Homo-oligomer: A and B are copies of this chain.
Amino acid sequence: MERVVVRVGVIGAGNVGSALVAMLLDESRFPALIEAVGAPLRLVAVAVRDTNKPHPGVPSELLTSDALSVATRDDVDLLVELAGGVDDAYRYVRAALESGKSVVTANKALIAAKGTELEAIARAKNVDLIFEAAVGGGIPILRALRTSLVGEKIQRVMGIVNGTTNFILSAMTSDGAQYGDVLAEAQRLGYAEADPTADVEGFDAAAKVTILSSLSFGTSLEGAAIAREGISKITADDVAFAKRHHFVIKLVGVAERVGEYGISMRVHPAMLPESHPLASINGAFNAVFVEGAKAGPLMMMGQGAGGDPTASAVLGDILESGRNCMLGRRSATPDVETNLTMVPQSELQSSFYLTLDVLDRPGVLAAVTKVFGDHGVSIRLLEQSGIGDEARLTLVTHLAMESDMAATLEDLQQVETVDAIGSCIRILGED
């Protein structure tokens, strides 16, 4: 049977879902969409939690509360999963793939946890599982990795992939404000959730790093344990120091090759030189910086969240998969590389920024610097400030092994004149 239309079912009509429905029903764009797919797209169902609630812009005859049936019914060729969460979404996506439907999703948590398993089903059924919007909202970074750069040996992918934390850190940088005050303001403005943990502690960014790594290096998508550190301990003093020394503090997600078969994935705050392309990405913007062996450094930036930008990325996936559907094929996806090993954080090198609250006594400097020396960690900058009995030491190290730095921190806690270890932030992007 020749297909004359591609029938689309959508699960979820929140911010992104309703923006997508508006795009699919915008008649002025029909010619462009038909040209891209080779046939019209027809929206046949929109599953929502409660069909009695108002869903402006969604024709009421398309509404249903039976999400699982949208995933499996015969008159849907392509499922768009925008429900969010992992468990329910997993059921819908798996059911759709098993019914031979292609799936487009924006669900980073689902893909980071179950992507490899779901992709295997998609391959077996010769259908697509595409998820551009799962990383970087409207930025077409994943498609670039799986098409333009598929022949490129990628060395490192480093991104600002969480808008909430970038908004907070940008505001701390421009206003000199403290973390807690800026977070409260971000919550008031709707840039941060009432419970901000997933964003500020780096869980959201970690899921995105898992996905970036899988497309850059072929690592598996099955809930990889990623070294993860959030921004909640960053102080106004840290930001001021960074500014004075021409650095900017960003929450970065990094996936990189270590040697030929090692991969490191991590999320942590980092001081980046002001001249680094990622340093100028402010507010809720996202950006991903890719270093390829031949392509050299590349960066893509754009809106990392929001209904329209995210829906725009979802629409791009629908057009790709819709065209595949017309041609009876699927898009290429990278194999999982089985010969890669995860390199623990302790085996990596970095420069570190560190603050110590110390007693302002003779000999304190000697005691502190001895600990660094004992572990072979070389100091490149040391500032002392403070009033009366208490003083603050700020140190920046040369490149040091993470394990040596960890041992240094442990020993510093035993030094009698050290009151407290304050911040410890990695410095990246100087190479």
Interface of A with B (CB < 8 Å)?
A: 19, 23, 29, 32-33, 35-36, 38, 132, 138-140, 143-144, 147-153, 277, 280, 292, 294-303, 306, 308-309, 311-313, 315-316, 318-320, 323, 327, 329, 332, 334-335
Set B33, B140, B306: member contacting A148, Cβ < 8 A:
B140
Chain B residues with CB below 8 A from A132, complex form: 148
Cα–Cα distance between A334 and B35 once the two chains are bound (Å)? 7
Which chain B residue lies CB-closest to A306?
A: B296
Q: Is the CB of B151 within 8 A of A315?
A: yes
Q: Is the CB of B316 within 8 A of A23?
A: no
Cα–Cα distance between A92 and B198 once the two chains are bound (Å)? 56
In the complex, besides A35-B334, A143-B147, A323-B332, 12 extra interface pairs with C-beta distance below 8 angstroms are: A23-B151, A35-B150, A138-B294, A140-B148, A140-B149, A140-B298, A143-B144, A147-B320, A152-B316, A294-B312, A296-B308, A296-B309
Q: Known contacts A151-B23, A151-B315, A280-B280; is A299 also within 8 Å of B300 by CB?
A: yes
A selection of 11 A-B contacts at a CB cut-off of 8 Å is A32-B150, A35-B332, A36-B150, A139-B298, A143-B143, A150-B319, A151-B319, A295-B308, A296-B308, A296-B312, A327-B329
Q: Is the CB of B294 within 8 A of A148?
A: no
Q: Nearest chain B CB to A201's CB is how many angstroms away?
A: 27
Cα–Cα distance between A101 and B149 once the two chains are bound (Å)? 23
Which chain B residue lies CB-closest to A282?
A: B275
Cα–Cα distance between A334 and B34 once the two chains are bound (Å)? 11
Which chain B residue lies CB-closest to A314?
A: B151
Q: Nearest chain B CB to A378's CB is how many angstroms away?
A: 31
Cα–Cα distance between A302 and B303 once the two chains are bound (Å)? 19
Cα–Cα distance between A294 and B315 once the two chains are bound (Å)? 10
Chain B residues with CB below 8 A from A294, complex form: 19, 23, 138, 308-309, 311-312, 315
Q: Nearest chain B CB to A340's CB is how many angstroms away?
A: 13
Which chain B residue lies CB-closest to A297?
A: B302
